[in-house]
Amino acid sequence: LASMSTNGSLTFISFFSFALQSFRRFGNTLSEYFHLLWFWHRALKIIGANFGTSVLSYFIFLKWLLTFNIFSFLINFSFIIIPQFVAAEPNNLSFTGLELLTGAGYFQQTVLYYGFYTNATIHKIENGPSYNMQLAYIFTVGLYFVICFFTLLFSMAKSFCKNFMDLQTYSGNASKILCTWDFNISNEKAVKLKQKNLSTQIKVQNAGEVRNFSVKERAVHVVIHLVSWIASLGTAVAACAGVYFLSINNLKLFVTGNKNDQESQAAMLVLPIVASLLNAFIPFFYSWLGCLERYQTPGYHVYVTIIRNIILKISIVGILCYYWVNVVAESESQCWETLVGQDIYRLVLVDFIFCLLGSFFGEFLRRIIGTTFCVSLGLPEFDIGRNVLDLIYAQTLTWIGILFSPLLPGIQFISFSIVFYVKKVSLMMNCQPPRKVWKTAQMTTSFMFLLFFPSFVGVLSVIGVTVWRLKPSEECGPFRGLSSMYAAVSEWIKTLENHTASKWVVWIYHNLITSVLFFFILSVLAFGKNCLRHSHSSLKTKNYKVDLWRSSSPTLLTKQVHTEQVSQEHVHVGFEYLQRLHHLSGQPVPGLCHP
């Protein structure tokens, strides 16, 4: 009986192991097919082959943001939008088409905005299970931000450990000559340009090492840098002031005018157009300042320009957040959350339009001018830094707008998908491979860091103030009648405290969820664990290479000895042949030493 029991247990274990392996193989096969079917897979290969990893990093970053938005759209659609359809009331407003640009009018009474969602507990069947829209709304948004936080943290830690802490990373001209070739390039023109880039990089580094400035030259450089920074910061402050005062005027127009009037709705587009114009043209002024400063290396120029651009964009977003939190939330609007959602919708839409126009005017027309009217200009280059910062700006707006417009990630997913293909087509038709030296891996880590801070951290601050401190509208939204959005969670926890079976949920809430120290320790552990995992993986790879070399070293040595013997025989035969020629002809043979 014991033997039968043992055999039965072994059979069950082996069957379970076989089933688990089969399921894992099926999952891997399915993921491979999905990976092959994913619409940008082939496009990335083409871009990398023609323009190298530096330009490819932009499109990989864009694909990464696409996954953020599709994930947010799916969870919002599953847990917020579908339940709202059950309790939705008919829309009495007429659709004119202008709503696609303004986001107002007909869209106010749809699932696009916060104000349309009910605060009631939804019952599909009478006396059946209920669905609390308040808890669903705040927990869905909160869970998404928690997942984004740890995803960004893990990705940033992995990239940082790989590119800044890897012991295999060498510096100096030897590594540039031997280790920095981009094997992704297959285009002949790109290969020649890459060779020129490497030689230029070595020359620039050597020039920077040996060049010394006099005291007068250093003083002139300090003055130029100081004036340039004052001009760049002053421009950012002036842009923020203009956006703020324009926002105040738009709010007055919205409150006093007819909200459904087409003229009033069209006037709402002035603010996003001005903000997009500032984001589009001020970076050219920053690039001009960088040319005046004349940095020793192109890397300094790139980093300084990126810092100035991120200050400009984050300042504009920051002043808009201040306007939404301190002005719109205290206004006479019946549903200020919907008004904020409409503002963000217009900003996202106009930014998308300007992105497409930038590809046309900045790359297509520039190619026409450089190949027809002014041949010395040549083909334009793809500006990686400016385009990545535009993506960070657009994603920041989307993260802020999730609370006020649950469908916004889906809209941004569509716009990013269109941008992906428009940029890809424009790149292939109009641009040449970059002539600037880009440390692709380090720049990718820098872009991830900028997406995390100040972008994502700033968004968390705005969302935190909105959820914990601001009073929701009295006449719309799932949190109407509450002192704050977070009050819905507090009331739910008080209800659970009266039930013995739910004490563990209350304990987790008080000791983990509301503990800032817990999340800080968890973040540090996650960052450290990811670095250690990368170090162990790198060490394992090195040990594997050493073991492989040891196992194959006798064969390699035998081949090397045989090769040397054959070479010596060939040299000996050649030397005898030359000696015979010399003996027969009596004339010296070139290359042969004579006594």
Both tokens of 368, joined, read 């026409």
**Measuring CA to CA, how many Å separate 222 from each of 215, 218, 229, 264, 304?**
11, 6, 11, 50, 15
Q: Kindly tell me the number of DSSP H helices and DSSP E strands found in the chain.
A: 20, 2
What 3-state class would DSSP assign to 381?
Answer: strand
Q: Are 588 and 594 in contact (CB under 8 A)?
A: yes
333: Cα separation from own chain's centroid:
35
List the chain domain ranges: 41-483
Ordered per-residue pLDDT tens for the chain, 595 residues: 344 333 443 443 444 455 456 545 655 554 554 454 456 777 887 888 788 777 888 998 998 899 899 999 999 999 999 999 887 788 888 888 888 888 888 898 899 999 999 988 887 666 667 889 999 999 999 999 999 998 898 888 777 777 666 544 445 555 555 565 666 666 676 666 666 666 655 655 554 454 567 788 888 888 999 999 999 999 999 999 999 999 988 887 776 655 556 677 777 889 999 999 999 999 989 988 888 887 766 667 777 888 999 999 999 999 999 999 999 998 878 899 999 999 999 999 999 999 999 888 888 888 888 888 887 778 888 888 889 999 999 999 999 999 999 999 999 999 999 999 999 999 999 888 776 656 666 777 888 889 998 999 999 999 999 999 999 999 899 999 899 999 999 888 888 878 777 777 777 777 766 666 666 676 676 666 666 665 556 556 656 655 655 565 555 445 544 544 544 444 454 445 445 544 544 544 444 444 4
Instruction: State which H helix or E strand residue 446 sits in.
Output: helix 440-450
From the list 245, 250, 290, the residue with the least C-alpha distance to 269 is 250
Cα–Cα distance between 278 and 312 in angstroms, integer?
A: 9
**Measuring CA to CA, how many Å separate 330 from each of 244, 321, 335, 337, 382?**
16, 13, 11, 11, 44
Both tokens of 531, joined, read 């670095």
Cα–Cα distance between 190 and 382 in angstroms, integer?
A: 14
Q: Are 133 and 476 in contact (CB under 8 A)?
A: no
Cα–Cα distance between 186 and 191 in angstroms, integer?
A: 7
